[in-house]
Structure 1
Amino acid sequence: MDESTPLDTQVTAPFGNFAEVRRAVDADLVGPVAAALKQWDPELAYAVRYVDTDPELADTAVFCAAYDVPAEASANCVVVAAKRGGETTLAAGVVLATTRLDVNKAVRGHLGARKASFAPMDTAVGESGMEYGGITPVGLPAHWPLLIDAAVAATPWVLIGSGRRRGKLILPGAALAALPGAVVLEGLAG
C-alpha cells in the first residue's frame, strides 16, 4: 500500500466488545510477531487488528464470555513436540476454540512421528519467543511445521493470540493459511 492510499481513521473489530482496537502494525507486539507482520504484504498486514485485553482473562472460555467473542471465531495455537528416532520436532497446530487439536492421530500421522504430545511450557515459550497463553502462529520459527485446521482457514475473521497473554490478533482465517510453511488439513481438530 503506498502512502497516497486513503486509509480509514476508525479501526473496528469484526466482532466482540473491546475498549481498544488498533491495527496490529501500530501495536507494541513481541519481536517475532512484529517481524513477521513486517514481512507480509502491506495491505494484508494492515488489515490485522490488535485488541488490548486483560491478561487475567486470556483463557479461551473466560475471554469469549468477557469480550463477547463467539467461540467459533476464536482459535488456539498449540505447540506440539513430535518424536521419531530420538529426534524431537516442534510444530504448531491451529484449531478453532470449539474443538481440540487431534495430537495423537492427525498431528502425529502428518508429521510421521512415533509419539506426539503437547510441548512442555518452558520449551514452547523459550523456542517461540512468546508468552504461554498467548502463542500465535504469526511469527513462529520458520522451520516449525505449521498445521492449520481447514475450519480455521475458512473462518472469515478469527481471533488468535498476539504473542503475549495481554492482547489478541484478529485476522482473516485465510491469512493464517497463507503463513510461510502452513499446511491446511481437514480433520486436524477432533
Structure 2
Amino acid sequence: MTTVLQRTAPPTAARTWWAKTVAAARYEYLMQVRRPAVWLVVIGLIALRCASPFPPGFTSTTDHSTLVADWAFNFIMLCPIGVGAVLADRVRRESRLELNDLLTSTPTGIGPRLWGKAIGAGAATITPVVLAWVGLLGYLTAQHGAGVIPVGLAAFAAIILPGLVFISACSVTIPYLTGPVLYRLGVFGYWI
C-alpha cells in the first residue's frame, strides 16, 4: 500500500511577501550564526576593549546608571566595527560561491531576499554582542546588586542596539556599491 505524504506548508511561490522575508531571515540567521568568524571577531573586539586600561575610578562608582553607561560606551566603541567587517564580506562570498544565479532562480523576489538577508544576518552578527552584554550584566549584578539589570537592558536598547542595527543594515547593502574592502575602510574611518 502506498502512502501519500501531505505537504505541511504551501510552496514558496504561494506564500506572502512577509512569509518569504521571514523564511529568508531564518535561513540567513542560521547560516551566519554558525560562522566562527562572527564569534571570533566580535568577541575578540569586546575582549580587546575590556582588556585595555580603564580610566581611574571607572569601576569604583556606585551609581548604576553611570556604571552601565560607561560599559555601554565601551561596547559601542568597537563592536560596530566588528559587526560591519563581518557582514561586509557577504557580497564577495556569494559571488565566490556562485550563489547569485541560484538565488535568482528561486521564486522569492529580490525584496524579501534582501530584507531577509539584512534582518537574519544582522541578528546573527549581533548575537555575540547580546550574549557578551548578558554576561557582563550577570557580573555587574553579582558585584553591585540587581538594580543593574533594568538599567543594563535600557542601556542596551538605547545605546548599543541602534548603532548595531544601523551598521548591520549598511553592511548588507553598501558593499554591493563599493565593494567590501572600501566599505570596511569607510566604516573604520567613520566609527573611529
* Rg (Cα) greater in structure: 2
- Structure with bigger helix share is 2
State the TM-score, normalized to the length of structure 1.
0.25
- Calculate the TM-score normalised by the size of structure 2: 0.25
Question: Which structure is richer in relative contact order (CA contacts within 8 A, separation 6 or more)?
Answer: 2
| Larger relative strand fraction | 1
